[in-house]
Structure 1
Amino acid sequence: MANDVHQIKLGNSVSFNKEVKIGRPKVRGIDIMRDPILNKGMAFTLEERQLLGIHGLLPPALMDQDAEVFQVMQNFYRWNDDLDRFIFLMCLQDRSEKLFYRVVTENIEQMMPIIYTPTVGLACQKYGMVFRKPRGIYITIHDIGHVYDILCNWPIDDVKAIVVTDGERILGLGDLGAYGMGIPIGKLSLYTACAGVQPHHCLPIMIDVGTNSENIRNDPLYIGLRQPREAGENYNNLIDEFMCAVVRRFGKNCLIQFEDFGNQNAFRLLENYRDRYCTFNDDIQGTAAVAVAGILSSLLITKIPLEKNVFLFLGAGEASIGIARLLVQAITKTGQGLEQTLKQIWLIDSKGLLVKNRPSGGIEEEKLMFAKDHPPMENLEAIVESVKPTTIIGAAAVSGAFTERILAFLAKINKRPVVFALSNPTSKAECTAELAYTATEGRAVFASGSPFPAVTYKGQTLHPGQGNNAYIFPGMALAIIFADIRRVTENLFLAAAESLAKMVTNQHLSEGRLYPPLSTIRQVSLNLAEAVITFAYEHNLAFRYPRPSDIRSSLKEFIFSTDYDSYIPPVYDWPDYAHHHSSKK
């Protein structure tokens, strides 16, 4: 049947003919208000209200975006519970995207603990209760053979970055199954809030293969497959199909960030795909870069050369192995040989100190290079006394593992002991900032994964450094998208770590900070992206040509603006205009 021709009237003065297919709904003014990309709330001008057919659908007052931000913050302060604040902000994001990001970027230190760690961990645990509106794509083990078709259901064609999880190891909370979708959503929110990546370029994806948590499977609010986690050949086939489908749907330069996969799958998938796809694993490589940046900053305080330090890791999973590997790269860059470098790095896993002759059996492949010729040991305190580390790094989600006695011993053998308690959320941290400072008489150089408040010790106020991956992955993603980087190498992450460390000033160090304040995260991400892009062009990893003559200026033009657009054309094709609007700078 031929297409109908409808006349759409905008206000009282403008009308035009618009061809639409039978069954396609007529575009109405209220549709604009319901679209988070286009909605400006009370900030629509009188002219816009008339032209767009929404005059009378809003109260008559005219507000600007500043007034809307003020209103949002007054509502934010009304809530006493962080989970309620999380739900409130997610609803704002669903209602008005630009207002959401304006609020977050202007109040980043307040907002990051709400939209990401530690509150996002609680939100994931209660995701069935907080779930309001679907965001992203859900792919299940039963969708093998149809993954590309599912990706085609996503209405935006120019997706440039995907964060994907299978929910097996969410933060330090374990297997949350489909409840883990909160992590990709939160990560991509930080892509935009921290680095200005265009929101419509981002796509969160949950690969649901079940969960081994009976409590979650039996939860009446559970939103995922109620079956034990599937592994083996079917799992591998699904991931393979997913990777191929992403390239087919969005192109080979679409970034795929793996997030919160179990240790065994995380390392295996990274090795399988890193040379064939544009991909990285934030738990392995992003954590490594932010930790190594903190270690490089700590050298300015301890005055001990990198190659003279001894590093002891509590944990030998994704985070610890990633940090250890990047540390090896950083140390060998000084000219020291690999054999000597490996002598400086010690790991503890669930079976004790990582040694070659352990009685409990074999060692996983990714850990082998760090196994030592040393008697087996299991007690952490005894291991610390034996290894005598200058730096101790916790990434095992064992709350309180760094006891007062261990910290005091570190202070005894080191003038400025370096203590990194990196496990998330806060409840899983190996020690608190207060304990680290008090047990070491204020001499600890401390960083954590989750935020801790400032600590005053003997009249000196110390601001604990937060080794938050948000210092790395948003800027890295911005660089990858901007420069069309199609292979994400370890050298890029080392360049990012070195760039971040260079942003730490003497003033920051005197305050106890190993990282710039989170309030400067947009500037940090911009600086980091510029450094990574420069490195990529110098090492033939960038495919965007011609190379911009001024990378920084080009980046500033490229990033997302939270300001409302003031011009709305009177005639537009609805899907194309929505896309155009979201892409405007």
Structure 2
Amino acid sequence: MPSSFLRHQYLRNLVFIGRRFEIEALGSMESSMKKTMSNGSVHMEMEEIDNKFEEAYGEHNATEDQLITPWTVSVASGYSLLRDPIYNKGLAFSEKERDAHYLRGLLPPALLDQELQERRMMHNLRNYEVPLHRYIAMMDLQERNERLFYKLLIDNVEELLPVVYTPTVGEACQKYGSIYRRPQGLFISLKEKGKILEVLKNWPERNIQVIVVTDGERILGLGDLGCQGMGIPVGKLSLYTALGGIRPSACLPITIDVGTNNEQLLNDEFYIGLRQKRARGQEYMELLDEFMYAVKKNYGEKVLIQFEDFANHNAFELLSRYSSSHLVFNDDIQGTASVVVAGLLAALKLVGGTLADHTFLFLGAGEAGTGIAELIALEISKQTGAPIEETRKKIWLVDSKGLIVQSRFESLQHFKKPWAHDHESIKDLYGAVQAIKPTVLIGTSGVGKTFTKEVVEAMASFNEKPLILALSNPTSQSECTAEEAYTWSQGRAIFASGSPFDPVEYDGKVFVPGQANNAYIFPGFGLGLIMSGTIRVHDDMLLAASEALAAQVSQENYDKGLIYPPFTNIRKISANIAAKVAAKAYELGLASRLPRPKDLVKFAESCMYSPRYRSYL
């Protein structure tokens, strides 16, 4: 039998199309074929193909193949093909493809390549005046033509990031029941208790590498949105693909529905979740334990589970509970911390000194605030060699009851206790600013308009360049606007926010506000974990990600007052972050992909999903 024929058949059969093949079947088929190979030249070619297959489909690889056309005879043709978002190309199907796959007559005669389709879609999106309408249009596109969706998002990331994620995703979650089209991801409710593993097996893809899961209790700064929080995992995973290059079929959004305490939703006829108050205590933890066990059993040791928008009382508990047994990451605690530390490291070139020379004051002592504070303390400890108990003393937190001080220690939640320093009681932020005289003011309160004029003016009175980070999302919950920060500080503030703000002109100078968006960190961080086969997350990996992001800020960015690089280079940024995270995983002995790739940046880039159309001939 000719080797070319065997190779052709081998390649066709090895193509992994998630829903349609089991990995076990591939392994069995590959083994069987090897046994039939006795001809030396064929055997050598098989080895070469095996190596390429491992590079393309290896369990540690983060994305899809770069070598093999993803097509088999089992994929539907004709009308069904046009209804499959993974393979549909719309009017980009060529004449030969239309004949080969029974599309003749099912499409208008015009041929529109992917670039023209992209221009048409962007033209349509820009005609929508309501952001939620743009969001719905993008979700419809994702359900119709997956590759075009990601091409739009990658090529127009600065324009579309606010559409598919914050701030628009917040409104989308609030109205999710009304705009619900078709299921995206898995909904696991209390009704599925005892059979979660069976539910996971209902998902058509088998080779899952990233799961983003929420229970919807603390969606952005909007509170308990219950089952409608699904918009967050869906949005996060679209960014994992667009910004970090994780292939879409390896991503699984999940909502854990244990009820909601939002009376408005419980009384909404269009609400899509359980109509009951939230489960707490043992019932809640038993469901989460079963979920975590089932995920590990079904998808293996190296699947990344990202917790998203859990309330404080559960977020810290879940991270602590599973961090030693699973590959888990909490974006609100760890991702936010990493991106903020990156901004602080970059800002040192504008404000001078080292991190240890600065004093930090937080408004907000929840999972984001305490997570950032702890990572700052770790970075200072790493730089100075001082014990972390000492470096924490440079950091002060204000919660709803005022400055966190030692006299409040017994009444504090456990995650606030490390920040209870010796000081007199102070009830408000302005008083704390006056007393502590911080060089850096960070808002993670989820409450808008809390960095008042007097607070910002006070910061400017004892800092030549006050560093002000208003991080709460969405835009309506931001502690202050970019215009307020620049105006009230006479143009001296270095400002960044969680949600995007337009450039501000003050005293004849244009200031470009930075965005401390977690999307800078988590896609590259996740890619680094996956491509190295990392089995556990370590704080040093978060610091490595922060340092990698800070290193991407150019002098041109600094000249505009930016402490973050532009999102237009996000894939390059993500590749560099992934490389540093992977390198740290190898250094710590937590990486299982061996041997270590020689050039981790190039390897990260080679792993990234490409949304370009493929030929189906």
Give the TM-score of the pair, scaled to structure 1. 0.91
Structure 1 residues 91-116: Cα deviation after superposition (integer angstroms, max 9, x where no partner):
00000000000011111000000000
**Offset at residue 28 of structure 1 (A):** 4.3
**Offset at residue 552 of structure 1 (A):** 2.5
Alignment partner, residue 21 of structure 2 = none
The alignment status of 1:204 with 2:282, answered yes or no, reads no
**Offset at residue 341 of structure 1 (A):** 1.2
**Offset at residue 530 of structure 1 (A):** 1.3
1:75-154 → structure 2 map (5 Å cutoff): 75-154=124-203
Give the counterpart letter for 1:139 in structure 2: I
Give the counterpart letter for 1:371 in structure 2: A
Structure 1 residues 354-389: Cα deviation after superposition (integer angstroms, max 9, x where no partner):
112139x61111111110111221121111101110
The alignment status of 1:406 with 2:459, answered yes or no, reads no
Alignment partner, residue 283 of structure 2 = 234
Structure 2: how far apart are the matches of 1:474 and 1:421? Answer: 22
Alignment partner, residue 582 of structure 1 = none
Structure 1 residues 125-181: Cα deviation after superposition (integer angstroms, max 9, x where no partner):
011111111100000012111000000000110010000000000000000000100
Which of 533, 539, 558 is the equivalent residue of 2:588?
Answer: 539
Alignment partner, residue 341 of structure 2 = 292
Which of 218, 224, 227 is the equivalent residue of 2:267?
Answer: 218
**Offset at residue 73 of structure 1 (A):** 1.0
**Offset at residue 506 of structure 1 (A):** 1.7
Alignment partner, residue 213 of structure 2 = 164
Instruction: Give 4+ residue runs of structure 1 displaced > 4 Å after superposition.
Output: 25-28
Alignment partner, residue 18 of structure 1 = none
Alignment partner, residue 351 of structure 1 = 401
**Offset at residue 556 of structure 1 (A):** 2.3
Give the counterpart letter for 2:216 in structure 1: G
| SS of alignment partner, residue 385 of structure 1 | helix
Structure 2: how far apart are the matches of 1:162 and 1:252? Answer: 13
The alignment status of 1:253 with 2:279, answered yes or no, reads no
Are the structure 2 counterparts of residues 339 and 479 from structure 1 closer, same or farther at C-alpha, using a change threshold of 3 Å?
A: closer
Structure 1: tracts of 5 or more residues without a match: 1-24, 569-585
| SS of alignment partner, residue 343 of structure 1 | helix
Alignment partner, residue 580 of structure 1 = none
Structure 2: how far apart are the matches of 1:422 and 1:295? Answer: 13
Alignment partner, residue 519 of structure 1 = 568
Structure 2: how far apart are the matches of 1:26 and 1:419? Answer: 53
Structure 2: how far apart are the matches of 1:64 and 1:110? Answer: 22
Alignment partner, residue 330 of structure 1 = 379
Alignment partner, residue 549 of structure 1 = 598
Q: Higher mean Cα deviation, 543-552 or 215-224?
A: 543-552
Structure 2: how far apart are the matches of 1:283 and 1:59? Answer: 47
Structure 1 residues 184-220: Cα deviation after superposition (integer angstroms, max 9, x where no partner):
0000000011111100000000000000010111111
| SS of alignment partner, residue 593 of structure 2 | coil
| SS of alignment partner, residue 171 of structure 1 | coil
Which of 386, 394, 400 is the equivalent residue of 2:435?
Answer: 386
The alignment status of 1:321 with 2:370, answered yes or no, reads yes
| SS of alignment partner, residue 160 of structure 2 | helix
Q: Higher mean Cα deviation, 535-544 or 435-444?
A: 535-544
Give the counterpart letter for 1:375 in structure 2: E
| SS of alignment partner, residue 412 of structure 2 | coil
Give the TM-score of the pair, scaled to structure 2. 0.87
| SS of alignment partner, residue 566 of structure 1 | coil
| SS of alignment partner, residue 139 of structure 1 | strand
| SS of alignment partner, residue 375 of structure 1 | coil
Alignment partner, residue 354 of structure 2 = 305
Structure 1: how far apart are the matches of 2:537 and 2:588? Answer: 12
**Offset at residue 462 of structure 1 (A):** 1.0
| SS of alignment partner, residue 365 of structure 1 | coil
| SS of alignment partner, residue 560 of structure 1 | coil
Task: Calculate percent identity across the aligned residue pairs.
Answer: 49
| SS of alignment partner, residue 450 of structure 2 | coil
Alignment partner, residue 5 of structure 1 = none
Structure 2: how far apart are the matches of 1:372 and 1:128? Answer: 45
Which of 311, 315, 320 is the equivalent residue of 1:266?
Answer: 315
**Offset at residue 485 of structure 1 (A):** 0.8
Alignment partner, residue 478 of structure 2 = 429
The alignment status of 1:468 with 2:486, answered yes or no, reads no
**Offset at residue 305 of structure 1 (A):** 1.8
Structure 2: how far apart are the matches of 1:246 and 1:338? Answer: 35
Structure 2: how far apart are the matches of 1:163 and 1:325? Answer: 23
Q: Higher mean Cα deviation, 526-535 or 248-257?
A: 526-535
Structure 2: how far apart are the matches of 1:551 and 1:406? Answer: 45
Contact 2:499 2:515 in 1 (8 A): yes
Which of 331, 341, 349 is the equivalent residue of 2:391?
Answer: 341
**Offset at residue 26 of structure 1 (A):** 10
Structure 2: how far apart are the matches of 1:374 and 1:72? Answer: 58
Contact 2:334 2:542 in 1 (8 A): yes
Are the structure 2 counterparts of residues 26 and 112 from structure 1 closer, same or farther at C-alpha, using a change threshold of 3 Å?
A: closer
The alignment status of 1:71 with 2:120, answered yes or no, reads yes
Structure 2: tracts of 5 or more residues without a match: 1-73
Structure 2: how far apart are the matches of 1:39 and 1:369? Answer: 54
Alignment partner, residue 183 of structure 1 = 232
Give the counterpart letter for 1:130 in structure 2: I
The alignment status of 1:442 with 2:442, answered yes or no, reads no
Give the counterpart letter for 2:277 in structure 1: P
Structure 2: how far apart are the matches of 1:199 and 1:110? Answer: 21
Structure 1: how far apart are the matches of 2:512 and 2:569? Answer: 15
Structure 2: how far apart are the matches of 1:27 and 1:85? Answer: 30
**Offset at residue 546 of structure 1 (A):** 1.8
Structure 1 residues 52-81: Cα deviation after superposition (integer angstroms, max 9, x where no partner):
111110001111111111111111112110
Alignment partner, residue 3 of structure 1 = none
Contact 2:260 2:277 in 1 (8 A): yes
**Offset at residue 339 of structure 1 (A):** 3.7
Give the counterpart letter for 1:524 in structure 2: I
Alignment partner, residue 22 of structure 1 = none
| SS of alignment partner, residue 416 of structure 2 | helix
